[in-house]
Each structure stands twice: as C-alpha cells, then as structure tokens.
Structure 1
Amino acid sequence: MAPPTHFKLSTGKQIPAVGLGTWRSEPGQVRQAVSFALKNGYSHIDAALIYGNEHEVGQGIKDSGVPRENIFITSKLWNTHQPNVAEGLQKTLDALETDYLDLYLIHWPVRLVPNESSALLPVNPDGTRSVDRSWDQSETWRQMEEVYKSGKVKAIGVANWSIPYLEELKKKWAVVPAHALKEWCDKHGILLEAYSPLGSQGAPLMSDPVIQEIAKKNNVSAATILISYHVNRGVVVLPKSITENRIISNGQVVALSDEDMNVLNGLAAQGKAKRINTPLFGWDLGFDDWYKQ
C-alpha cells in the first residue's frame, strides 16, 4: 500500500504529509528554495516569524506562480507576541503577503518579555532569558481560538509542547490543537508534525548503520528512509533543504514494511534518540530529555 500523501487535521482540513521546512535557511536562498519546491510538487511550506525569513518565503511563494489556494502555509507565533496573538499573526501575514494561514502554531509554551536588549530574544542583565514565569498559556490559547474564529487562520496548534503542558491546556481548550506528541495525540485525535527529520545540522542520523542497512534493503537513500518513517507512522514531516536535487528527493516517500518500522521504532530504546533543539529559556518544559534548572 502506498504511503499517504495527506493527513486530516482535527478541523477536517487536509494537510500535505511532507512540507518544506525553512528553519535555518540562509537569507538569499530560501526564496529560490520555496519557489523551486512549489514548482516541483510540494504544496506545504513551514515558516515562523523567529526564522527571520518570512518575507523571502512569501516572495518565493509569489515567484512560484502556484495559486494561494493550492498551497498549505504553516507559521508560528513567537514567544514575545503571546500577550497579543493578533498582532503577532499580522506581522507574519504581512511578511508572507497573504490574507490567511492554513495552520498557526504557538511556537513554545514560554512567554518572553521584550526589553532594550532585544525585541525577540530578550535577556536580563545577568544574561538569562527574560521570561514571564507567571504567564498563563491558556490565555495565549484563548487568543489563538479568537484568530481561528476570525478566519485568518484555518487551523491552530502548538509546537514543542510536552504532555504535562498539553494536559494543562486540555482543561481549557475549546478548539483542539492540530499538533502534539504521538501516543498522547493519537488518543486525543491530534496530528503530530516532525521537524529536522534528518537530525538537524550535519544530518547525523543518515550515517547510522541501521538506517543505512534499511536504505540499502529498500534501494533508496537514508534520507528517504528517515522521511518515509514519519509518514508511515502517520506524522507530517518537514525536511529542510535549499539544494534543488535534495528538495526533490526529500519529497519522495516509500512504503516501509512492518519489520523495518519495528526496527526504526526501536532505535530510541537503544539510546539513539537525540534532542536537536533546546533553547536556553531557563525553564523546564516537561520533556524527559529537557535540561533541568
């Protein structure tokens, strides 16, 4: 059976199973990458205000000539805009030059307080992050529900939230988030999305001998195995590249056998799981592998 090309969100809207990630895409390169991807079969672009390249992403979308209604655009509310979600959203819409987003996520369950040091990544005089520890994330979610009702976003969700944080949010949500963590999400009808599927910078997972062996067995690249793994387990995946041949190959997904999936699922138990993004917020976000304060 062929792997799925789309998944259904809690709103009923369809999201493409593979999207182009734009995190860490260099200025001057992401515009061309987005345009090329859309011209070559992609229909899902993942962006965020903190990436600092949403204007270029929007230019790439325009350059592609693909009609807006045929593109699924995701972006994320940055931490400093949590007290005013509508304002943060409008900054993203203006940068992307679009009237709406298909999916809008709370980027992290942490509110940062801007000060003279920075509008986006503020620090205190002692060098620690300027965090509002009293902020209630349910207020951010309430405002997310408001922008959802306005029609400016077609679905809402969260990113980088652990199960304890989701359990707290669940007590107050009216609109179910579109994204979260696998078993918990399956239980609550929430779709999960995976970024950095190749292991982030340097793509360390691609050199793992187990993954190399499965790739050889299936006559595909290690990157294809890593991307296909997520789609085969029902997870949207966001590989990032600015290289044309890799953009094309990253969009190719193959069906994996139960045997291969079981082997891949077992890699974490062998100590091969690796967190690739741990911002120094000075805050325990509740993940088992999060640094402790």
Structure 2
Amino acid sequence: MTWTVKLPGGAALPMIGFGTWQLQRNAAYESVRAALEAGYRHVDTATLYQNESEVGRAVKDSGVDREQVFVTTKLRPQDARRARRTLESSLRQLDTDYVDLWLIHWPTGRDELVSTWQELLSAKDAGLAREVGVSNYSPAQIDLLTEATGRQPAVNQIPWSPGQHDPALLDEHRRRGMVVEGYSGLKNTDLRHPVLTEIAERHAVTPAQVVLRWHLEHDIVILPRSSRRERIAANLDLEDLSLTAEEVTAIDALTRTR
C-alpha cells in the first residue's frame, strides 16, 4: 500500500495507519507486529494508551527499518506543563530518538492552548518530533494557535464516520491545508446498515472495508484497530476496492439518516 499524504515539513504520512487504543501488554505487541507484517507502515499510539513500550518493541522486533515506520504519539493536556519531559519519556518507551508526529490529544484549558502548542513547536525544532499537530481541536482553536505563533498544526485527528460526516468541517481543514485523521470510524458505524451491506455485497468485501475505503475517497487518514490478524490484514486490503461516486454519495447521506 503506497497511499501517502505529504505533510508541510516534507514527511510522507501513510493514509492507512494502525490504531492501538485499548490494546494492552502482549495484545498491543502482537497486534503491532501483525500489522507491520501485513504491510502497515504507520502506527498510532499515545501516552494515555499506556502501551508505548510494547509498540516500540514491536517496531524494533519487526525487522522493518525505523525510517520506514511512521510513529505517532500524543500528549495528554494534563501533562502540558511537563510536555518536554513527557515526550522524552515517550521516546524512551518507544525506544526511538524521535517520533514522526506528536499531537496534543485534546485541547487544554484556554490559558494553556498557546503555551502548549509552543512546547510542541520547540520539540519539533529540537528534532524530537518530525511533525506536530493536534487532536479534537476546532478550526477556531487551530486558528488561535496559528495566529499566536505563525505556525499551523500539520494534522488534526478527530472522530469521523459516515454518521458524523461533515463536509463543511472537512472544507475548513482543506482551506487551511491541514490533514484530517479520522478515528473510531468503524466503532461509530452500524456496519449492518443496508447501504453498507449492499455496497459490500456488490464488491465482495466487508462493510468495514467499505467504510474505510469511503474515508480514503475523502482523503481522510484512517486508523483502524484490531487484535485479530485476519481483520488487521483485511483493513489494509483496500487497493482493489473502488467505490463509485454514487456509492460515496449514498454513504455520505448516512449522516442525515442516523
């Protein structure tokens, strides 16, 4: 799978990433190993997930060159006042000198919005993170950071699914040249919905694959998560699935029929 999106600093972000939320201990290690063996080259973790050491060990043990794996982790807002120390701890657990992307997991209080963003920019300038961004931020909060520092987040990671499809919000990010990463796309979707099952049957794929391919049709980075090896592989196997414009429109419309 070669789908990537270029970030402002030049890094190529694979559009299919492997999410690790709620994967703990050996399950986290084995799932990331399985994902890398299947061909994933983008792994998403966070301080909150408490699995950075397992993720790092899986990347190292996979035999895939570190430069070939795009690793994301996230800063909890409650760690904002010790952001650099938190990142350094993440790097130790991940057993790497840098992360490819460091995000603020969700907005801090208004008084700390800019200062926390400045800490991320400082880490980027120091080479500890190749790119920095945010998660769960509104366009107004993103603009506040950009106006205060002159530097815009590269990515906003937000919940996205057919039922949450918001073309206006997507357009707000596009106008700013920002990449949208969608999370919980499968968790927040009724995979038994007739629109999805009929499209899946037509293409001889699963409804989950239809939903994931729909995200890619909208240039939204996806982060599917599973601990089952066959599902991990299926979630990556989207290259031969092509949705028609009518099918994409039908899935878009699910946001109005929930």
| Residue in 1 that maps onto 2:104 | 106
| Residue in 1 that maps onto 2:22 | 24
Whether the 8 Å CA contact 2:75–2:87 is kept in 1: the answer is yes
Q: TM-score, normalised by structure 1?
A: 0.79
Counting only pairs closer than 5 Å after superposition, residues 1-293 of structure 1 correspond to structure 2 as 5-110=3-108, 133=109, 135-180=111-156, 182-199=170-187, 204-253=189-238, 254-270=241-257, 272=258
Q: What is the rounded CA distance, in whole Å, between the counterparts of 1:56 and 1:161 in structure 2?
A: 28
Identity %: 33
Q: What is the rounded CA distance, in whole Å, between the counterparts of 2:20 and 2:138 in structure 1?
A: 23
Which consecutive unaligned segments of at least 5 residues does structure 2 have? 157-168
- For the residue of structure 2 that corresponds to 1:206, the secondary structure is coil
Deviation at 1:4, TM superposition (A): 6.6
Backbone CA RMSD of aligned residues: 1.6
Deviation at 1:55, TM superposition (A): 0.9
Letter in 2 for 1:240: R
Q: What is the rounded CA distance, in whole Å, between the counterparts of 1:52 and 1:139 in structure 2?
A: 25
Q: What is the rounded CA distance, in whole Å, between the counterparts of 1:134 and 1:227 in structure 2?
A: 34
- For the residue of structure 2 that corresponds to 1:192, the secondary structure is strand
Deviation at 1:173, TM superposition (A): 3.3
Whether the 8 Å CA contact 1:74–1:103 is kept in 2: the answer is yes
Q: What is the rounded CA distance, in whole Å, between the counterparts of 1:108 and 1:140 in structure 2?
A: 11
Which structure features the higher share of strand residues?
Answer: 2
Deviation at 1:151, TM superposition (A): 0.8
- For the residue of structure 1 that corresponds to 2:208, the secondary structure is helix
| Residue in 2 that maps onto 1:123 | none
Cα deviation code 1:166-219 (max 9, x no counterpart): 23223223332122352111000000001112025xxx5212221111111222
Deviation at 1:134, TM superposition (A): 5.8
Aligned residues: 244
- For the residue of structure 1 that corresponds to 2:155, the secondary structure is coil
Question: Stretches of 4+ moved more than 3 A in 1?
Answer: none
Letter in 1 for 2:146: K
Relative to 1, partners in 2 of residues 1:251 and 1:134: Cα closer, same or farther, differing over 3 Å? closer
Q: TM-score, normalised by structure 2?
A: 0.90
